[in-house]
Structure 1
Amino acid sequence: MKTYDLIIIGGGRASNLAKKAGNLGKKVALIEKSSLGGTCANRGCVPSKLLIAYADVIRSIESSQKHFISSEIKEIDIKKIFENNNSFIDSVDDSYKSKLNENVDLYRGIGSFISDKVIKVNDEKLTASKIIIATGTKPLKPPFENAWTSDDIFPLDNIPKSITIVGSGFIACELANVFNALKINTTLIVRSETLLSSEDKQIQEVFKEEFSKYVNIEFNTTIKDAKYQESGFTIELENKDKSTKQHKSQALLYAIGRESNAKDLKLENTSIQVDERGFIKRDEYFQTNAKDVYVVGDATGKYMLQHAAAYEMNHLFKVLYEDEKQALKFKYMPHAVFTHPEIASVGLTQKQAQEQNLDFIASKSIWKASAKAQGMKIDYAFTKFIVDKNTYEILGCHMIGPQSSTMIHQVLTLMHIDNDIRHLKNMLYIHPALSEELLPAAINAIKKIEESNEKN
C-alpha cells in the first residue's frame, strides 16, 4: 500500500489544490478517470461558451438592420467551428497536467473506497491522512438509445443537420441557442410552459418572449417514444392534451439535470453518508462523516457551479494548510445564463422573498438611461432589485440584457463589502457606460422604499 499526505479523487478544480499542496512539499495522489480539468473545462462551461461566442457574432450580424446596416452571412463554416472547439478540448488535459509538480502522482482510473482511509485504483491500494472527494456530477441518462447528453457533444465530430433538445434549464437553453444560431435545425422540447424556472418570474417572462423569436419551442410537450435509425430519430411528441404528432431529427439531446457520481466510490465500505438524492453529506468545514475525509464542489449537490467549486477548493486549502478557523458560508451565490438574451442573477427572487415573509420592495428598471444601452437598439433589457425596506440591503438582483454577467459584478462587490443599495445611488459612474444603468435602478428602488415607509 502506498502512503500519501493527501489523496484527491477527481481532477477538476481539485487539481489546482493538488498542485498547491504539492508546492508545499506534501505528497499527493490525484485520481482522475478521464481528462484533467473536469466537466467545466472539457464538457461544460468553457467549450460551451466558446461555441456561444460564435453564436453571439451570428446574432449580431443578423440584427444589423435595426442599426440601418444591411448585411448578410454568406457562409458559416460549422465544421471549422467545431474543429476549433474540439482542438481546445484536446489540449485541456495536457494543460492541467503540465501544472502538476513532482510531488503529485497522477492515477488514471476510478478511485473507490475499501475503508474510510483506504482507496483502490487500478488494483493499487492508497492511503493518506487526508482525503478529498471532488467527483462532481454527470448528466442524467436519456431514456432512449443513441440519445445524447451534453457530455456527447464535447467534442463533437459528426455535426447533425437537425437536433432536438429536451429540457428547459440553462444547459438546454444555451445549447439550443448555439445550434440554432449555427443554422442547425433546432427544436426545444419543454414539458411545461416555462423556461428557466429558477429565475425571477419577470425574467422568465421576458426571456421566453425573446428566446422564442429565435428557437422553435414545443411547450407542454414530452417525448412519448423515439426510434433511432441511421438517418436519425423518428420521435413521437405528446402534448399535455394527449394529442400526438411525429417529429424527425438527426440528433436527440437530453439536458434534464445531473446526478451524483457517488456510486462509483463504493461508500458502503465507509462511514460516509449520502442524502436522499445520492449526494455526499458534509459539515460546515467540508468534512464527511469519516474523519479527515472531505467533499467539495458538485459532489455535495448544493451549488453546482464552477465558481462555487473553485471558491470552496480555495477555502478548503486554507483549512487544511493555512490554519483557517472560519467556516465558509455563501451568503450570496450569483449565476448567469449565457444565451440570447443573457441573464445574470444573485440572491432571492421576488417569489422567494414573499415566501419568507420578508419586508421588501421589488423595483424593475428598463435600460434607458445609458446612451450605450440605447445604441444597442433593444427594448427588453431591465434590472430588478429586491431590497429590504428597513435596512436597504439588496436581497436579490436580476438582469436580462447584453453583458448582464459582467454588469452584475458591480452589485456583487457591493453586496459582499457593505450591502446597502444607497451606495449605488451615491457612487460615480462613467458616462455613458452600460453599467450606468445601475444608477436609475438604484434610485428607483430607494424611491419605492421611501414612499412605502412614508405610507406606513
Structure 2
Amino acid sequence: MKKFDLIIIGAGRASNLAVSASKMGKKVAIIEKSKFGGTCPNRGCVPSKLLIGYAHVARAIKESNRHFIDSTINKIDVEKIFEETNNYISKIDPAYKKRFNENVEVIYGTGKFVSNNIISVNGEELTAPKIVIATGTKPIKAPHEKAWTSDDIFPLKGEIPKSITIVGSGFIACELANFFSAVGIETKLLVRSQRILSNEDSDISAIFKEEFSKNVDILFDTSIDEIDYKDKQFNLILINKENQKSKHSSQALLYATGRQSNTDSLDLQNTDIQVNDRGYIKRDEFFETNAKGVYVVGDASGEHMLQHAAAQEVNHLGKLLFENESKALKFKYMPHAVFTEPEIASVGITEQKAKELNIKYVTSTTNWLASAKAMSTRLKYPRTKFIINPDTYEILGCHLIGPESSTMMHQILVVMHLDNDIRHLKEMLYIHPALNEAILPAAVNTVKVVEAYKKDK
C-alpha cells in the first residue's frame, strides 16, 4: 500500500491544494478520471465564456441599427470559432500538471473508498491521514444516447450542427442558446414553464425573459414527448401544457436541465461519510465529513456550486490543514452572474426569498439612464434593484441586468465585504460618466426609500 500525506480525488480547483502542499514538502497523490482542471476550464465556465465573446460581437453587428449604423454580416466562421476554443481546451490538462513538483504523484483513474482512509485506484491501494474529495458535479443525463449535455460541447467533436434544440431554463441553457443563436445556428429553446432563470429575482427574470426572447426562439410551457433520431437528425414530438402536440426537427439536441452529484462512483458505503437526500456529501464548518481526516470542497458538497466559491474553499482548507488556521470560512455573500444578452449579476436574497423568510425589507428599482455611458448603449431595459434592511441600511440583495453587470456588481460587493451600508454607495465619488455611475442614482433612490420608511414608522 502506498502512503501519502495527502490524497486528493478530483483535479479541478483542488489541484491548487496539491501545488501548495507539495511545496511544503508534503507527499501528495492526486486522482483524476478525466482532465486536470475539472469542469470549469475544460467543459464549463471558461470555454462557454470564450464562445459568448463571439456571440457578443455578432449581436452588436446585428443590432447596429440601434445606433443608426447599417451593417451586415457576410460570414461567421463557426468552425474556426470551435477550432480556437478546442485548441484552448487542449492546453489545459498539461498546463495544470506542469505546476506539480516531484512530491506530487498524478494518477488517472477513478478513486474508490475501501475504508475511511484507504483509496483504491487502478487496482492499487493508497492511504493518507488527510483525504480531500473534490469530485464536482455532472450534468443530468440526456434521455437519448445521441443527445448532448454541456459536457459534450467542449471540445466539440465532429460536424457542427446547422440547427439545435436546447432543453432547459437555467443559466447553462440560456448562455448556450445565446451563443448558438447569435452565430447563426438555428436555435430553439424549450422551457417547461412560463419562467426562465427562475432562481433570479422575479422582477429581473421578467425583464430578462422579454429581452432574451427578442433574440432567441423560445417555446414556453413545452417539453419533448417523443424523440426519434434518423439520418443525423432529431425528429421530435413536442407537447405543451394544453397537451397539444407539434413536430420539430434539428440536427442537434442539447439537454441543459441541471447538474447532479458526482459522488456515486466513490463507494462511500464503505465509509462513515454521509450524503444528503440529493447525494451531496455532508460536512461540518471546517469542510470535514463524518470520517475523520476526510474533507470535501467545491460542488461535491452541493452548497454553493460556483467556481469562485470552490476556489475560496480550497484556499481556506489549505490553511486549515497546513498553516494552523483555526477559524471556519464564513462567506459574507455569494455573488453570481449569467453571461448572456442581457447580462445579469446577483448577490444576496431575491425579493421572493425575503417574502418567504418573512423578514423586514424595502426595495428600490432604478434604471441606468442617468449615466451617459449607459445611455450610449441605447438600451432602455437595464435596471438595478436593491433589497435593504430598513433598520440598518444593510444590503440584503442586489440584482443588476444590463451590459457589464458582472463587472459593476463588484462595487456593491466591496461595500458588502466591509461594513455593508448602502449609504457608502450614495456618498462615494464616481468617475463621470462611467457605466458604474448608474449605481449612484440607484443608491440615492434606495436611501430615500429607507428614510421614507423610517419616517412613516
Deviation at 1:231, TM superposition (A): 2.6
Task: Give the corresponding residue for 1:19.
Answer: 19
Task: Give the corresponding residue for 1:132.
Answer: 132
1:274, 1:452 → 2: CA distance? 45
Deviation at 1:71, TM superposition (A): 1.2
Task: Give the corresponding residue for 2:410.
Answer: 409
Identical residues among aligned pairs (%): 62
Task: Give the corresponding residue for 1:118.
Answer: 118
Structure 2 spans left out of the alignment, 5+ residues: none
Task: Give the corresponding residue for 2:32.
Answer: 32
Contact 1:145/1:228 (CA < 8 Å) preserved in 2? no
1:145, 1:417 → 2: CA distance? 50
Task: Give the corresponding residue for 2:298.
Answer: 297
Q: CA RMSD in A?
A: 0.7
Task: Give the corresponding residue for 1:234.
Answer: 235
Task: Give the corresponding residue for 1:185.
Answer: 186
Structure 1 spans left out of the alignment, 5+ residues: none
Deviation at 1:437, TM superposition (A): 0.7
Contact 1:177/1:339 (CA < 8 Å) preserved in 2? yes
Instruction: Please state if 1:282 is matched with 2:279.
Output: no
Task: Give the corresponding residue for 1:152.
Answer: 152
Please give the residue correspondences for 1:68-147 in structure 2 after superposition, counting only pairs within 5 Å.
Answer: 68-147=68-147
Deviation at 1:357, TM superposition (A): 1.8
Task: Give the corresponding residue for 1:399.
Answer: 400
- Partner of 2:91, secondary structure, is helix
2:67, 2:82 → 1: CA distance? 30
- Partner of 1:302, secondary structure, is coil
2:101, 2:286 → 1: CA distance? 27
1:342, 1:453 → 2: CA distance? 34
* TM-score normalised by L of structure 1: 0.99
1:410, 1:281 → 2: CA distance? 34
Instruction: Please state if 1:328 is matched with 2:329.
Output: yes
Task: Give the corresponding residue for 1:446.
Answer: 447
Task: Give the corresponding residue for 2:429.
Answer: 428
Deviation at 1:346, TM superposition (A): 0.1
1:171, 1:214 → 2: CA distance? 17
Number of aligned residues: 456
Please give the residue correspondences for 1:170-319 in structure 2 after superposition, counting only pairs within 5 Å.
Answer: 170-319=171-320
Deviation at 1:230, TM superposition (A): 2.4
Deviation at 1:145, TM superposition (A): 2.4
2:99, 2:434 → 1: CA distance? 38
Q: Which amino acid aligns with 2:376?
A: G
- What does the per-residue CA deviation read over 1:349-377, in whole Å, with 9 as the maximum and x for residues that have no partner? 11111222222110000001111001010
**Structure 1 residue runs of 4 or more that deviate by more than 2 Å after TM superposition:** none
2:230, 2:326 → 1: CA distance? 59
Q: Which amino acid aligns with 1:303?
A: H
2:36, 2:320 → 1: CA distance? 24
- Partner of 1:132, secondary structure, is strand
- What does the per-residue CA deviation read over 1:57-83, in whole Å, with 9 as the maximum and x for residues that have no partner? 011111111111121111100110000
Please give the residue correspondences for 1:48-67 in structure 2 after superposition, counting only pairs within 5 Å.
Answer: 48-67=48-67
Q: Which amino acid aligns with 1:211?
A: F
Q: Which amino acid aligns with 1:134?
A: A
* TM-score normalised by L of structure 2: 0.99
Q: Which amino acid aligns with 1:308?
A: A
Deviation at 1:330, TM superposition (A): 1.8
1:232, 1:37 → 2: CA distance? 33
2:19, 2:276 → 1: CA distance? 30
Task: Give the corresponding residue for 1:353.
Answer: 354
Q: Which amino acid aligns with 1:192?
A: S
